[in-house]
Structures are given as structure tokens and as C-alpha cells.
């Protein structure tokens, strides 16, 4: 058995992270997601003691569509996840994947010295963790 070096999360994270206010309606948030090509948004902290929030497509599907709610009448803060687990940019990809599995999550903000520097997902872990070997 060989030992593989999967590399750090910083090698596969998305560095363009879009933040929105929790008071924004879900329809407006979806328009932003479409415009920037993202499946997740960071919800801005209200103050320095607040925690990071996150809005995913799956949150919208489960808490807006499945419950037959009007997306223009639901605020992001009503359906977002908060607080969320974050990872460090130097965390190994394999440990990030294990953490996602252990906690049942698919996305996490990447935080360095208290600042959000990126976003990582199962999709990015696989795409950049395995596919470079196939080229």
C-alpha cells in the first residue's frame, strides 16, 4: 500500500467567496448565486461576536421549495445554517473529506486567522484531489 499526499485544502478551495446579509430574501440570494456561479453563500456576521452562517442550494430545496414557501418572502436567516464548521487552509484534503463525512456536511468556509479566505466542498475535494492524477 502506498501513502498518498493529498495536499492541503488551500490547493482546492474556491477563493471567490460571496457574502450576503441574512435579511436578504432567498430569491435575491438565488440570483446572486446564479450570477457568481456558486452553490453556497456566506452569510455575513452581524458583529464581531457573531458566528459565520452559510446558505446552500440544499437549504433552499429543503426549507423553501419542499415546504412550498415563496422565495421572495423568506429571508436568508430563516433557512441558513449557523453556526457552521470551518476548516484551515493547511488542513489535508483527506481529513477535510473525513470531517465532512463525520458531520454530514458538504461545504465549509476556509478560515485563516479569523478571516474567511475561501470555500471548500466535496465537489472541489474530488475535482482537485483526484482528477489531476487522471490528466
Q: What is the pLDDT of residues 64-104, one digit of tens each?
A: 999 999 999 999 999 999 999 999 999 999 999 999 999 99
Listed residue (125, 116, 99) closest to 11, CA to CA: 125
Domain layout of the chain by residue ranges: 9-134
Residue 60: burial class (beta carbons within 10 Å; 0-12, 13-18, 19+): buried
pTM greater than 0.75 (yes/no): yes
> What's the CATH code, domain 9-134?
3.10.580.10
The confidence band for 132, taking pLDDT boundaries of 50, 70 and 90, is low
Amino acid at each position: 500500500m502506498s501513502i498518498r499526499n493529498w495536499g492541503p485544502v488551500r490547493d482546492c478551495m474556491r477563493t471567490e467567496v460571496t457574502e450576503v446579509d441574512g435579511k436578504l430574501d432567498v430569491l435575491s440570494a438565488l440570483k446572486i448565486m446564479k450570477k457568481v456561479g456558486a452553490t453556497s453563500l456566506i452569510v455575513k456576521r452581524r458583529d464581531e461576536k457573531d458566528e459565520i452562517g452559510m446558505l446552500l442550494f440544499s437549504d433552499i430545496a429543503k426549507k423553501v421549495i419542499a415546504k412550498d414557501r415563496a422565495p421572495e418572502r423568506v429571508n436568508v436567516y430563516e433557512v441558513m445554517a449557523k453556526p457552521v464548521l470551518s476548516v484551515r487552509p493547511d488542513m489535508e484534503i483527506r481529513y477535510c473529506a473525513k470531517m465532512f463525512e463525520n458531520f454530514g456536511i458538504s461545504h465549509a468556509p476556509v478560515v485563516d486567522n479569523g478571516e474567511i479566505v475561501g470555500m471548500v466542498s466535496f465537489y472541489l475535494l474530488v475535482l482537485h484531489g483526484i482528477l489531476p492524477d487522471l490528466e
